[in-house]
């Protein structure tokens, strides 16, 4: 399974830094398709406490979600909408192709 939206933290220094993915020029229509796709994920792993946003410190979402091919934290939508974080293009292409079909 491929993963997207898991960010670097002190305990996971090998993960990508979301600061490097901020893109305020990302096409809003495409972003909205990806956000809608993220909302259709199924719970893969429930967690007992919320995820902490590494950009603003807010607490959002408690689960890991999946579509059967990709896995992402429930708070990924927060990063896209609030912080203009643009995930990997491979995931964007995947999500958009499924939203348009």
Q: Where are the domains of the chain?
A: 2-100
| pLDDT value of residue 99 | 81
- CA atoms of 84 and 51, how far apart (whole Å): 18
Element (H, E) at 36: helix 28-38
Report yes or no on whether pTM surpasses 0.95: no
| pLDDT value of residue 87 | 97
Tell me the two tokens of residue 44. 């893969």
The two beta strands, 2-3 and 70-73, are: parallel
Q: Judge whether residue 10 has pLDDT over 80.
A: yes
- Give the model confidence (pLDDT) of 17-75 as tens digits: 999 999 999 999 999 999 999 999 999 988 767 788 999 999 887 799 999 999 999 99
| pLDDT value of residue 101 | 67
- Nearest alpha-carbon partner for 75 in 91, 98, 58, 92: 58
| pLDDT value of residue 41 | 96
Which residue in this structure is represented by tokens 């305020």?
24
């Amino acid at each position: 399974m491929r993963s997207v939206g898991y960010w670097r933290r002190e305990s996971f220094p090998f993960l990508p830094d979301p600061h490097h993915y901020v893109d305020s020029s990302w096409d809003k229509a495409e972003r909205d398709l990806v956000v809608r796709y993220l909302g259709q994920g199924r719970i893969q792993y429930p967690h007992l406490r919320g995820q902490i946003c590494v950009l603003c410190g807010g607490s959002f979402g408690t689960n890991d979600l999946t579509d059967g091919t990709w896995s992402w934290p429930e708070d990924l939508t927060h990063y896209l909408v609030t912080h203009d974080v643009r995930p990997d293009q491979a995931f964007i292409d995947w999500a958009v192709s499924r939203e348009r079909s």
